[in-house]
Structure 1
Amino acid sequence: MTPLVAAAVLLAAVTHASWNAIAHRITDKLVGFTLISGGGALIGLAFTPFTPLPAAGAWPYLALSAALHIAYYALLMRSFRLGDFGQAYPIARGSAPLLVTALAAVFADEYPDAWQGAGIAVACAGLTGVALWGLRGHRPDWPAIVAALATGAAIAAYTLVDGLGVRAAGTTLGYMAWLMVLEGFAVPLYALWRWRGETAARLRPHLRLGLLGAALSVFAYTLVLWAQTRAALAPVAALRESSIIVGAAIGALLFRERFGTPRLVAAGVLVVGIGLMLT
C-alpha cells in the first residue's frame, strides 16, 4: 500500500464517519437513509452518461453487491435505533476487517505478509478496544450488539464483492455510478410505500442534511473502490475502519458521548497498526 493509497483510504474514513453521523443525527432513521440512499442513486444516475460502462464480468458482482448494500442499510438503521452512535458504529465497523482478511484469502487468494498481518491484527485490537469501551459499565444490550455485528458481516461481504467487482469492471467511476443506481432506490421505494402521500412532508425538513450525507457517502466509497484496485483488500478494509476513531470523536463532540482515555489508547494502537501496514 503506497502512501497515496493510504491517504485516500484515511480521507474516506473521515468522510464515512461524517455521513454516518448525519444518518444518526436525523431522528427518523428511515428519513435519513431515504435521503442518503436516494441521493446517492441520483448522483450515480447523473454520472452514468459520463463514465465508462463496467465490463461484462463486473455485472454479477454489481447485482450481488447491491443486494448486500440494501441489507447493510437495513441492519445499520436497526443498529442506530437500538444503540448509541459511539457504540453501534465501532462494533459494526470493527468486526469487519478480520472477516475481510479471511474472505480475501479464500476468494481472492490474497494473503497478508508478516507486516500487513501484524498491522491488521494490531489495528483490529484498537478498533475492538473502542467497541468494548462502549460497553464498559453498562449491561450489554444484546439486540443492539447483534444488529451491529450483523452489520459488520454485511460490510465484510460487500467489501469482498466490490473489491473483486471493481477490478473486473475496468473503471472505478463506472462501477461506483452503477452500484449507486442499483442499490440506491430500494430504501426510497420502501419509504414511498410506507408513508403513502406523506413522503415530501417527512423529507423536506432534513433535505439539505440528508443530501450532504449522500454526497459524502458516494465520495467516501469511490475512494475505497479506487484503493481496492491498487492494494490488497484486507489492509484497505482495516485502514478504512479508522473511521471508528473519527466516529467516536464525532459522538463526543456532537452527541455528548464520552470519549475518554480508553479511546485515546485505542486510537494510539490503531496508529501503530497503520504504521505496520505501511511498512
Structure 2
Amino acid sequence: MSAGVLLAVLLGAFLHASWNVLVKAGHDTSVAVAGVYIGAGVLSAIALPFLPAPSAASWPYLAVSTVVEVLYAFLLAAAYRLGDLSHAYPLMRGTAPLLVAIGSGALIGEPLSGAVYAGVALVSAGVLSTIRDAHSRGHSPAATRLALLNACVIAAYTTIDGLGVRASRAPVAYSLWLSLLVGLPWLAWVVMRRDYRWADVRRQLPAVALGGACSVGSYTLALWAMTRAPVAAVAAVRETSIVFGAALGAVVLRERVTRVRALAAVAIAFGVWIIRAH
C-alpha cells in the first residue's frame, strides 16, 4: 500500500469517527443518523451530474449494497441508543475487518499471509477484551449483540462494494450513487414520522451538512483505495477509526474510557496495522 493510499484511508477513518460522534451527540440517534445520510445524499446529488456514470456491471452491486447499508444504519442507531460510543464503535469497527480478512480469499480472490492472520488474532483479542469490559461495567448486553451483528453487516457491504467499485471504473461516482441511494429511504422515513419537527432540521443544518460531508468523504476515500490495494488491507487500515472514535468519545462526549478500553483500542489498531503492512 503506497503512502498516498495509506494517508487517504487514514483521513477517511478520521472522517468516519467524526460523523459517528455527531450521531451519538444527537438527542435522537435515529434522527441524527437520518440527517447524516440525507445530507450525504443531497451532496452526492449535487456532484453526480459532473461525474461519469459507473459501468453497468457495477449496478447490481450498488443495488445490493444499498439494502445492506440501510440495515447497517438502522442497527447503528439502535446500538448507540443502548450503549456508549466508546463501547459500540470499537466492537462494530474492530470485528468487521476480521470477517473481511477471513473471507477475502474465497470471495475476492485475495488470499492472506500468515502475518495478516496474526494481525487478525490481535484484533480479535482486543475485541474480546472490550466485550469483557462492557459486561463487567454493566453495559447493555443488547448493545453488544447489536454491535456484533452490525459488524457482520459492515463486512458484507465492504466485500460487496470492494467488488462493485472495481467493476465500476468510476470509484467516486460509485460512492456518490451509493450515498444517494442510501439517503432516499432515510428521507422517506423522516417524512413519514409524524412527530418529526422540521424546525429541528433547520437548527441542525450545519451538523447535518458536516455529518453528510464526513460520511460521503470517508467512504469515497475507502472505495478509491480499494481500487489500488487489497480490500482486506483497506478495510483493516480504515478501522484505525476505532482509535479516533475512542478519543473523540472521551473528549467530545465526555464518555469514560477505562484502561481496558484504551488498551483494547490500541491492540485493535496495532492488529489492523499488521494486516495493512502485509
Q: Does TM-score exceed 0.5, indicating one fold?
A: yes
Q: Which runs of 5+ in 1 are unaligned?
A: none
- For structure 1, which segment, 220-229 or 236-245, has the greater mean C-alpha deviation from structure 2 after superposition? 236-245
**What RMSD in Å do the two structures reach over aligned CA positions?**
1.9
- Paired with 2:268 and 2:103, the residues of 1 have a C-alpha distance of 22
Q: CA offset at residue 267 of structure 1?
A: 4.3
Quick one: structure 1 residues 228 and 138, their matched pair in 2 at CA, closer, same or farther if it must change by over 3 Å? Answer: same
Q: CA offset at residue 147 of structure 1?
A: 1.2
- Paired with 1:76 and 1:214, the residues of 2 have a C-alpha distance of 15
- For structure 1, which segment, 47-56 or 201-210, has the greater mean C-alpha deviation from structure 2 after superposition? 201-210
Is 1:101 matched up with 2:89?
no
Partner of 2:194: 195
Partner of 1:90: 90
The one-letter code of the counterpart of 1:112 is: L
Q: CA offset at residue 57 of structure 1?
A: 0.5
What pairs with 1:1-279 in structure 2 (closer than 5 Å)?
Answer: 1-133=1-133, 135=134, 137-139=136-138, 141-195=140-194, 198-273=196-271, 274-275=273-274, 277-279=276-278
Q: CA offset at residue 230 of structure 1?
A: 1.1
Please give the secondary structure, in 2, of the residue aligned with 1:93.
helix
- Paired with 1:271 and 1:64, the residues of 2 have a C-alpha distance of 30
Asked if the contact 1:30/1:191 (under 8 Å) is kept, the reply is no
Q: Which runs of 5+ in 2 are unaligned?
A: none
Q: Deviation string for 1:14-69 (max 9, x for gaps)?
A: 11000000011011123212211111111111111111110111000000011111
Please give the secondary structure, in 1, of the residue aligned with 2:256.
coil
- Paired with 1:144 and 1:268, the residues of 2 have a C-alpha distance of 22
Asked if the contact 2:236/2:276 (under 8 Å) is kept, the reply is no
The one-letter code of the counterpart of 1:107 is: L
Aligned length: 277
- Paired with 1:200 and 1:136, the residues of 2 have a C-alpha distance of 39
Asked if the contact 2:66/2:178 (under 8 Å) is kept, the reply is yes
The one-letter code of the counterpart of 2:199 is: A
Q: CA offset at residue 9 of structure 1?
A: 1.3
Q: CA offset at residue 240 of structure 1?
A: 1.1
Asked if the contact 1:93/1:241 (under 8 Å) is kept, the reply is yes
The one-letter code of the counterpart of 1:8 is: A
Please give the secondary structure, in 2, of the residue aligned with 1:230.
coil
- For structure 1, which segment, 62-71 or 246-255, has the greater mean C-alpha deviation from structure 2 after superposition? 246-255
Quick one: structure 1 residues 275 and 156, their matched pair in 2 at CA, closer, same or farther if it must change by over 3 Å? Answer: closer
The one-letter code of the counterpart of 2:112 is: P
Quick one: structure 1 residues 75 and 271, their matched pair in 2 at CA, closer, same or farther if it must change by over 3 Å? Answer: closer
Give % identity. 39
Quick one: structure 1 residues 191 and 126, their matched pair in 2 at CA, closer, same or farther if it must change by over 3 Å? Answer: same
The one-letter code of the counterpart of 2:28 is: D
- Paired with 1:87 and 1:70, the residues of 2 have a C-alpha distance of 22
- Paired with 1:143 and 1:183, the residues of 2 have a C-alpha distance of 25
- For structure 1, which segment, 50-59 or 187-196, has the greater mean C-alpha deviation from structure 2 after superposition? 187-196
Please give the secondary structure, in 1, of the residue aligned with 2:259.
helix
Q: Deviation string for 1:128-159 (max 9, x for gaps)?
A: 544544x1532352211111111111111100
Quick one: structure 1 residues 128 and 237, their matched pair in 2 at CA, closer, same or farther if it must change by over 3 Å? Answer: farther
Asked if the contact 2:79/2:88 (under 8 Å) is kept, the reply is yes
